[in-house]
Amino acid sequence: MTTDQPRAAAGRPSGRSAAAVPELLAAAREGQPRAVARLISLVEDGSDLLREVMAGLAAHVGGAHIVGITGAPGVGKSTSTNALVTELRQRDLRVAVLAVDPSSPFSGGALLGDRIRMADHTVDPGVFIRSMASRGHLGGLSWSAPQAIRVLDAAGFDVVLVETVGVGQSEVEIAALADTTLVLLAPGMGDGIQAAKAGILEIGDLYVVNKADRDGAEKVQRDIRSMLRLADRAEGAWQPPVLATVAMKQQGFAEVVDALTEHRTWLGDSGALSRRRARRARDEIQAIAVAELRSRWRDVGRGPDLDRLAAAVATGDLDPYTAADRLLAEHSSG
């Protein structure tokens, strides 16, 4: 495992790094953890080098199975991720874990417990673990998470597990990033009704009731199954399985990985994979375009053009609509 190293707070001189991008990409594609970590740092920092990085990676993405793991706080997402990694490694698959915290612009502190739990995999070169926060970048994780996933995909990981940490309305966002969404539940945590409220019944490709060593796990399974049965599903649609695990004891994960594999096969056979990926690409393009427009706007919003136009509007020589049109026109032509 390679946890993310603390990064220098100050920005790097991009001139120095620019020359290194092709080497960095080559190293990342060989799966060298330092290079992969470095590329994800570039994503996190919103680096200017990302254009070159993404252009270099574009032809090499699409091989990984992107699995999103979501569920209420405390259901056992981190413990289950750890158990999943163990099972995937037993099948000789290379695994990357991306822990994203949509609710916090800071990475680090909140994830410490998760890192300790993942310590089972610290010496395994077939496992790469990285936490990521939005760091206040415009567009936040909707902008950065897909790009980090691209890096991991291009680095040749067979499976990329995207785990949410922290609380938030993030379930749907995570589902939008993944090929397969695993919704984790546990007894005594609000059960089925909560799940229905959270909109979780629409997004899961696979439901796993963790903490099956506790009372009530079977009831949660039954509740979810009966709620899923009520949903309208088109003919040939995927029927989400509802499994049970004890993550603390590594129980049930062979079945979980089998179900993930089955879903991946179904996605490919049914054509759903390319639809999902196209939708994801659309979101990604939009997020980048919006961030780009905003950053351009920041420049327009301060420039001398604006001062000149503002003076004209203030003195009544110009109306504000005409001024805004001119500002935009001048800017978009530049």
Ligand X SMILES: Nc1nc2c(ncn2[C@@H]2O[C@H](COP(=O)(O)OP(=O)(O)OP(=O)(O)O)[C@@H](O)[C@H]2O)c(=O)[nH]1
Query: Which residues make up the interface to Mg ion (CB under 5 A)?
Result: 77-78, 165
How far is residue 290 CA from its own chain's centroid? 18
Residue 108 contacts ligand X per CB under 6 A: no
Nearest-10 crossing angle of helices 21-29, 50-57: 40
Measured in degrees and rounded to the nearest 5, phi and psi for residue 201 equal -70, -20
Residue 53 contacts ligand X per CB under 6 A: no
Q: Are strands 180-185 and 127-133 parallel, antiparallel or unpaired?
A: unpaired
Residue 77 contacts ligand X per CB under 6 A: yes
Residue 62 contacts ligand X per CB under 6 A: no
Is the CB of residue 129 less than 8 Å from the CB of residue 93?
Answer: no
The DSSP letter of residue 111 is G
From the list ligand X, Mg ion, none, pick the one residue 7 interacts with, judged by a Cβ distance below 5 to 8 Å according to partner type: none
Instruction: Write the CA distances from 33 to 7, 28, 36, 151, 328, integer angstroms.
Output: 15, 7, 5, 11, 44
Stretch that binds ligand X, among 2-10, 24-32, 193-201, 246-254 (CB under 6 A): 246-254
Residue 188 contacts ligand X per CB under 6 A: no
Residue 100 contacts ligand X per CB under 6 A: no
CB of 165 to ligand X, least distance (A): 5
CB of 29 to Mg ion, least distance (A): 30
Taking the C-alpha atoms of residue 230 and residue 179, their distance in angstroms, rounded to an integer, is 24
CB of 95 to Mg ion, least distance (A): 17
Residue 214 contacts ligand X per CB under 6 A: yes
Selection from 263, 260, 80 nearest residue 185 by Cα: 80
Beta bridge partners of 101: 133
Stretch that binds ligand X, among 33-41, 229-237, 240-248, 258-266 (CB under 6 A): 240-248
Stretch that binds ligand X, among 152-160, 195-203, 211-219, 257-265 (CB under 6 A): 211-219
**Which residues sit at the interface with ligand X, rule CB under 6 A?**
71, 73-79, 165, 210-211, 213-214, 246-248
